[in-house]
Structure 1
Amino acid sequence: MKGKVVLGAGFGDEGKGLVTDWLCRHCEQPLVIRFSGGQQAGHTVVANGLRHVFSNFGSGTLQGAPTYFSRFCTIEPIGLCNELAVLLAKGVQPLLYIDAQCPVTTPYDIARNRQQHPHGSCGVGVGNTLNREEQYYSLTFADLFSPWVLQTRLDLLRTFFYKEYAAASVEAFLDCCAAVVSSPYIRSTQGLPPGFSDHIYEGSQGLLLDQHFGFFPYVTRSNTGTINAVALHGSRELEVYLVTRAYQTRHGAGPMSNEHLPHNIKANPQETNVCNSYQGEFRRSLLDLSLVEYAINRDELLRSTNNRHLVITCLDHVQDEYRFTWQGSIIFCNNEAEFVRRIAATLGFSSVFISSSDDGMGIKLF
C-alpha cells in the first residue's frame, strides 16, 4: 500500500488541502485519511470548476476520493451535516468513513470552548472534546448508533462534567446524529477501509501547532506530525510532502517570528478565514527557515527520511518580495527561481514543487 503524508511546516494555512487534491489527481484509487485534529480544519480546494473549504471531509473529495476519519480525529455532527448539504448542493456526492472510536464533539464542548478561548481557539470544541475523553467522559461515533446510550452519555455529561453549560441545546445535535448514522454518504468502520491503491494522509494544523513541540499554550490538542500516520499505516514507509507558503502565516494569538520586519506580501483577496471571532486576525511575515528547520527536526520520520518533498505555495503573493530569514539574518534573492533554490538548499530538500495557483493543477515540479 502506497502512503503519502501531507504536513504543514508552520502554524497552519500552508496549502495542505491544495496538495492533497493534487496528489489524488495522480492516484488510481486514493483514500484520504485524516490523522489529526478534526472539524477545525479549513482546507480550501479549487477543482473541476468548484471551490470548497473542507473541514469534515477530506480534500480529495472533488476528485472522487473517499475520506477516512481515523480514531485520532474528532467529529462534530452538526457541522458534518451542514457541510454534506453544501457538497450535495454543488453536485458532489462524497463518501466518508468514520472510525467507530472517533470522539464526538457535543454542544457542551463547544459552549465551554467559546466561553474560554484565550489562546486563539477556533471555537469548535476540538480541544475540549479530547480533554473530556481523557477524563473518561467518553462519547464516540459508535455510541451514535444506540439512541439510549447516546442520550444517557449526554445526560451524564450535562450533570457531572458540563453542569455550568446545562442550558446548551442538544436538539439540533441529536437530529444531526440521527441523520449521520442513516446517511448513505457516511459509513462506520473499524480501522482503515480496504480496497484503495494509495493512502493520502492529510494533516490538520501545521507542525508548529503540535501539542508536544509547538509553543504551549498556543497549540492544538493533536499530533500534527507523522506519528499518527505511521501508527495507522503500520510502517515508516511513507512519502512525505512538507508544505509551506512562500511566507509565514499565523491565525490568531500566539508567537510568530519576523513580525517586526516590514514587508509588502500581497494579501489574498480570497483568503479563506481572514478574521475569526474566536481565533482572531490572520497574520503574515517573512518566511523564517530557522523555524521550519526546527519543525523538521522535531518530527522523527521527517528529519530522517530521504523520501520527502518540499512544496512551496502562494509564490504569486511574494512578487518583488523574495526574502526569507535564516539564523536571524535576512536573505535577499534576485528572483523567484533563486528564492526557491536557496530555500530548498538551506533546508536540505532535493525535490521541490511550487505553486502560484489555488487550483491543484498549478502545482509543478521545480
Structure 2
Amino acid sequence: MPALVLLGAQWGDEGKGKATDLLGGSVDYVVRYQGGNNAGHTVVVGDQKYALHLLPSGILSPGCTPVIGNGVVVDPSVLFSELNGLNDRGVDTSKLLISGNAHIITPYNVTVDKVTERFLGKRKIGTTGRGIGPTYADKINRVGIRIQDLYDESILTQKVEAALDGKNQLLTKVFNRRAIEVGQVVEELLSYADRLKPYVADTVLVLNQALEQDKVVLFEGGQGTLLDIDHGTYPFVTSSNPTAGGACTGAGVGPTKISRVIGILKAYTTRVGSGPFPTELFDEDGDALRRIGGERGVTTGRDRRCGWFDAVIARYATRVNGLTDFFLTKLDVLTGWEQIPVCVAYEIDGRRVEELPYSQTDFHHAKPVYEYLPGWSEDITKAKSFSDLPKNAQDYVKALEEMSGAPISAIGVGPGRDETIEINSFL
C-alpha cells in the first residue's frame, strides 16, 4: 500500500485541504510534516465549512489518525482553540497524535517575529507574525523548546533561560522593548502539559510501523513549493521545507517508503505576502479572480494576490518534488472568460526563458509570455466526469497537463467535497 505526499505546487493556498479530504476516507494516517499555524486549509463537508490551520485535514475523516510530525512547530494555545472548535461541532479529535520532538512556538518567538517584521519596514518579508520563523531559528540554533521538554521542569527552565539570554538583549537594546521573564514563560508552557500529554507519541515509530503493516499514510504539506526555504523565491519564503523532501525529515520516514507525490495546482495562480509574482494582475481580471475564487487567506485573512496560470512554476514544482500527479483545483472559477491567458515562458532582458530563473535578480525582472486559450461559459460545477466538461475546459486542462510535466489525475470543479472529477485514482 502506498505512502503518499500531497503538497502545494505554487505559492500555497492551492486547495490542499480539499485534496487531502478527498483521500482521507481511504487512508489510515494523515501527517502534517512542516510549518505551523501559518498554514491554512479550508474543507467543505456538505453544507459545513471547516478552516484548519495547524491540524491535519484528516482529522475530519472518521477512521483516519491525524498526526502532527516532528517537523511542525506547535503553538499550544492555537492547537487547543482549534480542537475546541472542532469538538464543539461534533468532530472526534481523540485520535490525534503529536510528535514529542515537535518544537513549541513560545510567547517570546511571537514577540520577536512581530517586532522584527515591523523593524524591517519596506523590506519586510510578509510573515504572519505568529512566531514560526523565530521558532525554526531557535531549532537550528539549538535553543528550541520541544514538546517533550514540558515534562521535565528543570530542563524546560534551563532551555528557556538559554533562549532568553540573547533575546532579551535584542528586545531591550535594539527594539526598546521590555525583557521577558523566564518564570512567566515557564509557567505558561507548563500549563499546557497535562492537556497535551494524551496526544504525545513517538510518531516516527508509529508511522514506520504503520507502513510495515501496509497501512496507507498521507503526508500533507503546508504552504507551497515556491515558499520552500531552499527551493522557493527566497527570501520571500516560509521557514521550512514544504517540498517532498521535507516529508521525510519532518516525519522521520525514509524516501524509499514514498510511492507517490501529488502536487496541488490552482487553475490560476495566487500568493500571499511580499515577493515576485510574474503573472500578477492589477486590473479587473485580477479583481474578478479574487472575488469569484474567494481569495482570502484562511489563516491570515489577507486578500491573495491573483494572476494567470504560470506553467514555468508548475514545471519547476514537478522537477524539485518528483511529482507523479497533479490535482487541479478551482477550474470553475475560470468560467466566463472569453480567452484565458497562460504563462508559458518569461521574457528577461529581451531573452525568452522557459525554466524558472536560478537568479533572484532575473526572477524579479521576469515578464510573462502568454498563450491564449479559448474559454467557456457553461456551469461546470455539476460535472462528474472529464467528458462532462465543455470542450474548451477539457482543452484547457490538457494544455496545462502538457505544459506542467505530470498527469492531472483529479479536477476540482467547486468547493464541495463531492465537486471533484477523478480521472485516475491516487490509491
TM-score between the two structures when normalised by the length of structure 2: 0.76
For the pair 1:209 / 2:227, whether they are aligned, the reply is yes
For the pair 1:311 / 2:324, whether they are aligned, the reply is no
Cα 1:192–1:42 change in 2 (3 A) is farther
For the pair 1:137 / 2:136, whether they are aligned, the reply is no
Residues 195-215 of structure 1: per-residue CA shift (max 9 Å, x gap): 472111101111001111211
- Structure 1 residue aligned with 2:204: 191
Structure with larger Rg: 2
- Shift, 1:48, TM fit: 5.1
- Shift, 1:354, TM fit: 0.5
Q: How many residues align?
A: 354
- Structure 2 residue aligned with 1:57: 55
Cα 1:86–1:155 change in 2 (3 A) is same
Cα 1:49–1:60 change in 2 (3 A) is farther
Cα 1:349–1:216 change in 2 (3 A) is closer
- Shift, 1:62, TM fit: 0.9
- Structure 2 residue aligned with 1:273: 297
Pairing of 1:268-307 with structure 2 (within 5 A): 268=292, 270-271=294-295, 273=297, 276=300, 281-299=303-321, 301-302=322-323
- Structure 1 residue aligned with 2:79: 80
**Which amino acid letter does the alignment assign opposite residue 208 of structure 1?**
L
Please identify, of 126-135 and 190-199, the stretch whose mean Cα deviation from structure 2 is larger.
190-199
Residues 143-185 of structure 1: per-residue CA shift (max 9 Å, x gap): 0122333233223322333442634864884365234334x4x
- Shift, 1:356, TM fit: 2.0
* Unaligned segments of structure 2, at least 5 residues: 118-123, 172-177, 346-368, 376-391
- Shift, 1:67, TM fit: 1.7
SS in 1 for 2:97: strand
Contact 1:218 1:253 in 2 (8 A): yes
- Shift, 1:49, TM fit: 4.4
Alpha-carbon distance between aligned partners in 1 of 2:282 and 2:52, rounded to the nearest angstrom: 33
Alpha-carbon distance between aligned partners in 2 of 1:251 and 1:261, rounded to the nearest angstrom: 15
Identity %: 26
Alpha-carbon distance between aligned partners in 2 of 1:241 and 1:351, rounded to the nearest angstrom: 9
Residues 121-159 of structure 1: per-residue CA shift (max 9 Å, x gap): 011111110111211212111101223332332233223
Alpha-carbon distance between aligned partners in 1 of 2:9 and 2:203, rounded to the nearest angstrom: 31
**Equivalent in 237, 243, 267 of residue 225 of structure 1:** 243
Alpha-carbon distance between aligned partners in 2 of 1:148 and 1:157, rounded to the nearest angstrom: 14
Alpha-carbon distance between aligned partners in 2 of 1:51 and 1:359, rounded to the nearest angstrom: 9
Alpha-carbon distance between aligned partners in 2 of 1:270 and 1:26, rounded to the nearest angstrom: 29
Contact 2:290 2:306 in 1 (8 A): no
Contact 2:100 2:200 in 1 (8 A): no
- Structure 1 residue aligned with 2:401: 344
Alpha-carbon distance between aligned partners in 2 of 1:12 and 1:150, rounded to the nearest angstrom: 34
SS in 1 for 2:304: strand
Please identify, of 153-162 and 217-226, the stretch whose mean Cα deviation from structure 2 is larger.
153-162
**Equivalent in 270, 274, 280 of residue 249 of structure 1:** 270
- Shift, 1:344, TM fit: 0.7
**Equivalent in 156, 165, 169 of residue 150 of structure 1:** 156
- Structure 1 residue aligned with 2:102: 102
* Unaligned segments of structure 1, at least 5 residues: 303-307
Residues 43-77 of structure 1: per-residue CA shift (max 9 Å, x gap): 11112543211122110111122222222111111
Contact 2:413 2:421 in 1 (8 A): no
Alpha-carbon distance between aligned partners in 2 of 1:233 and 1:175, rounded to the nearest angstrom: 30
**Which amino acid letter does the alignment assign opposite residue 82 of structure 1?**
S
* Higher RCO (CA 8 Å, separation ≥ 6 residues): 1
Contact 2:411 2:421 in 1 (8 A): yes
Alpha-carbon distance between aligned partners in 1 of 2:201 and 2:278, rounded to the nearest angstrom: 43
